[in-house]
Amino acid sequence: MTAEPKLLEPVSPEEASVFSRLQLDTLPRHIAIIMDGNGRWARQKSFGERIEGHRAGTESVRAATRTAAQLRLQALTLYAFSTENWARPKREVTALMSLLESFLIKEIPELMDNNVRLVASGRLDELPASARNKLSHTMSVTAGNDGLVLNLALSYGGRQEIVDACRSLMQRAQSGEIRPEDLTTDAFAQALYQPGLPEPELLVRTSGEQRVSNFLLWQIAYTEFVYLPVLWPDFRRIHFLDALEAYQNRERRFGGVEPVRR
């Protein structure tokens, strides 16, 4: 078992100022991020090649994971590749898959140092075999870590997740294991890809786009959305803290009339 990473210590006056306004006892347990804007970043930097943006974005993945671990969050879900992203040019898809593979291997020491357990959500059988193998390897190496759960959404679609849950429930009903009247919202949630994780309290999308793009459709029923203008490759700890501050300024009511703190 790995030791807990050190608690977050602000490194700039800007970080210290946001950090001092956060209430550490009411941070979200689970944050989900739509990592968007890699292509635009590459265009702005005049690399032209979209993949350069994806490559630079891996540094932001490391920063986000480390920050979440140092804040002792329970889970971080990162939208890395959607079911719709398969429609991108073959060159880009191939490059993304090879970036994923090298990330999965190179990142092991960092995951171990931060006591992070890697899991993945999506139609993983659609990934190339080499990516699947590296994914299982990194998941098994980090399986004993009991700090942050890093959930990578890969070949992930919210609608597909719901359909996959329905399929498994229908199979169980067909075999007589469950009856239609046993189905409740809680029982349904147990059939999703990560039944052990709480629903995300906060969803962040970078790059200024304000849409859900088929992410976690079931789980975001009461999630707070924070849209940040920063492009994903420029995302650093200060942006994470900014999103947390925005979240803590929200009043959540869950359909009632009184604010609920949880």
Q: Which of 15, 36, 101, 224 touches ligand IPE by CB under 6 A? A: 36
Which CB atom, from 122 or from 147, has the smaller least distance to Mg ion?
A: 122
Asked if 230 touches Mg ion (CB under 5 A), the answer is no
Nearest approach, Cβ of residue 196 and ligand IPE (Å): 22
Q: Which of 31, 71, 80, 131 touches ligand IPE by CB under 6 A? A: 80
Asked if 34 touches ligand IPE (CB under 6 A), the answer is yes
Which CB atom, from 8 or from 231, has the smaller least distance to ligand IPE?
A: 231
Which CB atom, from 40 or from 137, has the smaller least distance to ligand IPE?
A: 40
Nearest approach, Cβ of residue 147 and ligand IPE (Å): 24
Asked if 45 touches ligand IPE (CB under 6 A), the answer is no
Secondary structure, 3-state, the chain: CCCCCCCCCCCCHHHHHHHHHCCHHHCCCEEEEECCCHHHHHHHCCCCCHHHHHHHHHHHHHHHHHHHHHCCCCEEEEEEEEHHHHHCCHHHHHHHHHHHHHHHHHCHHHHHHCCCEEEEECCHHHCCHHHHHHHHHHHHHCCCCCCCEEEEEEEECHHHHHHHHHHHHHHHHHCCCCCHHHCCHHHHHCCCCCCCCCCCCEEEECCCCCCCCCCCCCCCCCCEEEECCCCHHHCCHHHHHHHHHHHHCCCCCCCCCCCCCC
Q: Which of 209, 254, 259, 260 touches ligand IPE by CB under 6 A? A: 209
Q: What string marks each residue from 20 to 39 as x (binds Mg ion by CB under 5 A) or -? A: ----------------x---
